[in-house]
Amino acid sequence: MKPNHDPENVEQRMDQMISKLREHEFRITPQRLAVLRVLAISKDHPSVEGIYEEVRKGFPTTSIATIYKTVNLLRNIDEVLEIAFPDGSNRYDGNNPFPHPHIICVRCKRIVHPDMESLESIMNNAAKKTGFEILSHRLDIFGVCNDCRATKTNINS
């Protein structure tokens, strides 16, 4: 599956998440709906803090704990992909809840989807060579994005 970011799919994506939550008999509260919407709309792999900022615009009394809980819930039912980092600054992809590669800017933390046509053959090769059944994968590529490269920053200062 290839990651996609078609804004026309926002409602459809929300419906998918809602029916999956219902399947697991989780309640759909207005705050949870707001979290789903932010995840479905976001193109930039938001953090929990980022989701919190957005949800708070409509629900000022929302606590960050509620956001954590909802995101964890969605992660546990495979409706959101977590891009975990050792420092805990995890980011989330609610549009593409399946393993896919990311390229991450080390300066501004922007995360985009590289076009990786060859990934499938890499996986097939890995399976063939090791005899493993591949269940999942994680590929993070780190670099400096175009915008950051254009900003003249003195790395010594």
Closest approach of Zn ion to the CB of residue 145, in Å:
3
Closest approach of Zn ion to the CB of residue 156, in Å:
19
Closest approach of Zn ion to the CB of residue 131, in Å:
29
- For Zn ion, the binding residues (CB under 5 A) are 93, 96, 105, 107-108, 110, 145, 148
C-beta of 26 vs 145, nearer to Zn ion: 145
Whole-angstrom CA distances from 129 to 58, 94, 121, 125, 152 are: 52, 33, 12, 6, 45
C-beta of 20 vs 110, nearer to Zn ion: 110
Contact 122, 113 (CB under 8 A): no
Rama region for 16: left / alpha / beta (φ>0; ψ in -120 to 50; rest): alpha
C-beta of 101 vs 123, nearer to Zn ion: 101
Contact 108, 148 (CB under 8 A): yes
Closest approach of Zn ion to the CB of residue 119, in Å:
13
